[in-house]
């Protein structure tokens, strides 16, 4: 085992180099003009696992983004482990706000900055490091599955799963796409929220009108839309949509100071909602407005705006059903339009929440591997984010044990500007995964 720890350390520089090259590929599936890049990143990932010695490496797609499936057959009597990550990334946002170019990986203070360094190209790097540490011959069966449209809600994942179910079957599924408690304390993620979103359009007028001639008599659509959006929360910031599920989160100490530090909440701005922080993040629904289409300020003229749209995103606590929650949201939006404004709701992505039973022999092995790799016990945590893959695969392979690990930490800034990976976390995560695979072979 000590040898394996040393092996991971030895292979890490080569893994880091490959991670940097992968980050240089702008694999933003959500941007139609960069779909070639997503094909390039799939090919790059496929080549990495071919390079490690896997014989069966394919790029598959079912009407959506390309995914990579790379397989190493199980030695007799050994279990098969599916290693998951995604090679697509979020759009980079405003490049001017990055301290270094988003697709040029740059190290500062032990962190590697760049879009996808953490979410989730570091997941690919973790699996690659483990495979290299074993010289391409892990002691268990390994199927690496690297998705290409996770950040777009995995729309073709269920078809991929249907078509390639035989290839993807596994006894244990390791998902390297989540957070850690800190850079020094690992997490095992035991619950994730689901997601449902929609676009709501509000119309009040047949056409724009001179705002002086008609303002004060007939409503503009933006004023109607913001009142409608305001109805989604009460004055304390609790979600005000009826019929949503609330569970109960583990009691974990999460101070207001930590919230402020982890989020960059501005001085004087308060938190919203009631209940402990873990309760609000992991076990209650949340609703956020993630985009608005209307006349820009630059294009504004004294005109009553006839129609406007917003994209509303809802997080669903484990135990709730995403389809039913989207229906509750739709109903609320249709019933709360002020002044009789016309409302059209167009449903968007759906992903089911998931709660994990983190007990049993695989979890015992994982906890031991994490303890050895990190020098401290892993904490079981929930996360507020979503990975639709999990509920889909849990349904397809009900006997498989699911482990959600990851390489993010509270300073990662996934989805935001200046995303980064803590390089020590990458090493510890790769070591833990390698040790876990070794112990799954012998248990």
How big is the chain by its Cα radius of gyration, in Å?
A: 23
- Separation between Cα atoms, residue 432 and residue 141, nearest integer Å: 17
* Segment interacting with ligand BES (CB under 6 A) among 53-61, 275-283, 384-392, 420-428: 384-392
> For ligand BES, which is the closer residue by CB, 42 or 383?
383
Our measurement of the distance from residue 319's CA atom to the centroid of its chain's CA atoms, rounded to an integer in Å, reads 19
**179 interacts with, out of ligand BES, Mn ion, none, CB within 5 to 8 A per kind:** ligand BES
Among 18, 20, 171, 177, binds ligand BES (CB under 6 A): 177
Provide the 3-class DSSP secondary structure of residue 174: strand
Of residues 130 through 169, those in contact with ligand BES by CB under 6 A are 150-151, 153
What whole-number distance in Å separates Cα of residue 314 and Cα of residue 293?
18
Rule CB under 6 A: choose which of 38, 173, 388, 393 binds ligand BES: 388
Q: x/- string (CB under 5 A) for Mn ion, residues 114-143? A: -----xx-----------------------
Residue 74 interacting partner from ligand BES, Mn ion, none (CB closer than 5 to 8 Å by kind): none
Residue closer to ligand BES (CB basis): 278 or 388: 388
196 contacts 316 by C-beta, under 8 angstroms: yes
Q: Report the side by side order of strands in the sheet with 420-422.
A: 106-108, 111-113, 420-422
Among 186, 351, 353, 382, binds ligand BES (CB under 6 A): 351
If you ran DSSP here, which 8-state letter would residue 83 be given? E
Sheet of 286-293: strand order equals 286-293, 307-316, 194-203, 342-351
Query: At a CB cut-off of 8 Å and minimum separation 6, what does 331 contact?
Result: none
Q: Do the Cβ atoms of 58 and 69 come closer than 8 Å?
A: yes
Stretch that binds Mn ion, among 177-185, 222-230, 424-432, 433-441 (CB under 5 A): 177-185
Q: Return the residue of 349, 355, 376, 410 that touches ligand BES, per CB under 6 A.
A: 349
Which H or E element spans position 308?
A: strand 307-316
Q: Does 201 bind Mn ion (CB under 5 A)?
A: no
**Interface positions with ligand BES (CB under 6 A):** 119-120, 150-151, 153, 177-179, 195, 349, 351, 383, 385-388
């Amino acid at each position: 085992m000590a040898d394996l720890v040393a092996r991971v350390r030895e292979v890490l520089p080569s893994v880091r180099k490959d991670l940097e090259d992968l980050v240089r590929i702008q694999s933003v599936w959500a941007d139609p003009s960069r779909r070639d890049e997503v094909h390039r990143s799939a090919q790059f990932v496929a080549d990495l696992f071919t390079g490690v010695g896997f014989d069966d490496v394919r790029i598959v797609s079912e009407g959506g983004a390309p995914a990579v499936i790379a397989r190493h057959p199980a030695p007799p009597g050994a279990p098969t482990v599916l290693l998951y990550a995604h090679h697509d990334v979020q759009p980079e946002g405003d490049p001017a706000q990055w301290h270094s170019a988003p697709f040029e990986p740059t190290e500062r203070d032990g962190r590697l900055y760049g879009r996808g360094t953490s979410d989730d190209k570091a997941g690919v790097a973790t699996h690659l490091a483990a495979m290299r540490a074993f010289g391409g011959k892990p002691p268990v069966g390994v199927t690496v599955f690297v998705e290409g449209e996770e950040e777009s809600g995995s729309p073709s994942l269920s078809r991929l799963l249907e078509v390639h179910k035989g290839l993807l079957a596994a006894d244990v599924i390791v998902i390297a796409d989540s957070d850690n408690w800190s850079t020094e304390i690992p997490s095992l993620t035991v619950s994730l929220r689901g997601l449902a979103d929609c676009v709501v359009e509000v119309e009040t007028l047949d056409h724009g009108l001179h705002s002086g001639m008609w303002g004060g008599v007939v409503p503009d659509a933006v004023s109607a839309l913001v009142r409608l959006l305001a109805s989604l929360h009460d004055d304390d910031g609790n979600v005000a949509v009826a019929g949503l599920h609330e569970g109960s989160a583990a009691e974990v100490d999460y101070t207001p100071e930590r919230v402020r530090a982890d989020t960059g909440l501005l001085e004087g701005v308060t938190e919203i909602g009631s209940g402990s922080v873990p309760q609000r993040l992991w076990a209650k629904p949340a609703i956020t407005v993630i985009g608005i289409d209307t006349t820009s300020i630059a294009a504004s003229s004294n005109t009553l705006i006839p129609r406007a749209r917003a994209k509303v995103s809802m997080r669903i606590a484990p135990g709730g059903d995403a389809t039913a929650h989207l229906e509750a949201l739709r109903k609320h939006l249709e019933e709360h339009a002020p002044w009789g404004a016309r409302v059209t709701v167009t449903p968007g992505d759906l992903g089911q929440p998931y709660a994990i039973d983190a007990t049993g022999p695989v979890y015992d092995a994982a906890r031991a591997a994490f303890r050895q790799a990190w020098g401290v016990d892993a904490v079981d945590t929930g996360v507020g984010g979503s990975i639709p893959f999990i509920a889909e695969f849990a349904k397809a392979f009900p006997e498989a044990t699911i482990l959600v690990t990851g390489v993010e930490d509270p300073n990662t800034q996934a989805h935001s500007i200046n995303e980064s990976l803590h390089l020590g976390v990458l090493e510890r995560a790769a070591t833990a995964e390698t040790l876990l695979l070794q112990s799954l072979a012998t248990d």
